[in-house]
Amino acid sequence: MIGFIGLGNMGSGMARSLMRNGKKLIILDTNKAVVDEFKAEGCEVAEHPSDIAAASRHIITMLPRTAHVNEVYTGSSGILKTIQRGTLCIDCSTIDRHMSTTLAKLVREHNAEFMDAPVSGGIEHAKEGTLKIMVGAESEQVFERAKEEVLSKMAKKVYHVGKVGDGQAVKVCNMMVAGINALALSEAMNLGIEMGIDPVVLNKSINTSTGYSYISKSANPVPGVHPKAPASNEYKDGFTVSLMARDLSHAQIASTDCHAATPLGSLTHQIYTILAQNPEYSSKDFTSIYQFLINKKK
Ligand code: NAD
Give the mean pLDDT of 130-143. Answer: 97
Determine the pLDDT at residue 238.
86
* Residue span of the structural domain in which 82 resides: 2-164
Q: Does 185 lie in the same domain as 141?
A: no
Q: Does 186 lie in the same domain as 150?
A: no
pLDDT band at 122 (very low <50, low <70, confident <90, very high): confident
Q: Exactly one of 24, 32, 39, 171 is catalytic; which is it?
A: 171
Strand, helix or coil for residue 292:
helix
Q: Does 110 lie in the same domain as 24?
A: yes
Q: Does 25 lie in the same domain as 159?
A: yes
Q: CA-to-CA distance for 13 and 9, rounded, in angstroms?
A: 7
Q: Does 153 lie in the same domain as 14?
A: yes
Q: Does 145 lie in the same domain as 7?
A: yes
Q: Which residues line ligand 1 (CB under 6 A)?
A: 5-11, 28-31, 34, 62-64, 68, 71-72, 93-94, 119, 122-123, 239, 243
The 10s digit of each residue's pLDDT in 176-233 is 999 999 999 999 999 999 999 999 999 999 999 999 999 999 999 999 999 999 999 9
Q: Does 151 lie in the same domain as 46?
A: yes
Strands 131-136 and 119-120: antiparallel
Q: Kindly list the distances between the CA atom of residue 254 and the CA atoms of 18, 102, 232, 251, 257, in Å, as whole numbers in the listed order.
A: 33, 16, 34, 5, 5
Give the mean pLDDT of 111-115. Answer: 98
**Centre of ligand 1 from the C-alpha of residue 8, in Å:** 5
Instruction: Say if residues 138 and 111 touch (Cβ distance below 8 Å).
Output: no
The closest-lying atom of ligand 1 relative to the alpha carbon of residue 240 is 41
Q: Does 237 lie in the same domain as 102?
A: no
Last residue of a domain, one of 113, 138, 164: 164
Query: Is residue 163 annotated as part of the catalytic site, yes or no?
Result: no
Q: Does 148 lie in the same domain as 18?
A: yes
Q: Kindly list the distances between the CA atom of residue 117 and the CA atoms of 136, 161, 276, in Å, as whole numbers in the listed order.
A: 6, 10, 26
The 10s digit of each residue's pLDDT in 63-98 is 999 999 999 999 999 999 999 999 999 999 999 999
Determine the pLDDT at residue 297.
73
Instruction: Say if residues 201 and 214 touch (Cβ distance below 8 Å).
Output: no
The 10s digit of each residue's pLDDT in 16-45 is 999 999 999 999 999 999 999 999 999 999
Q: How many domains does the chain have?
A: 2
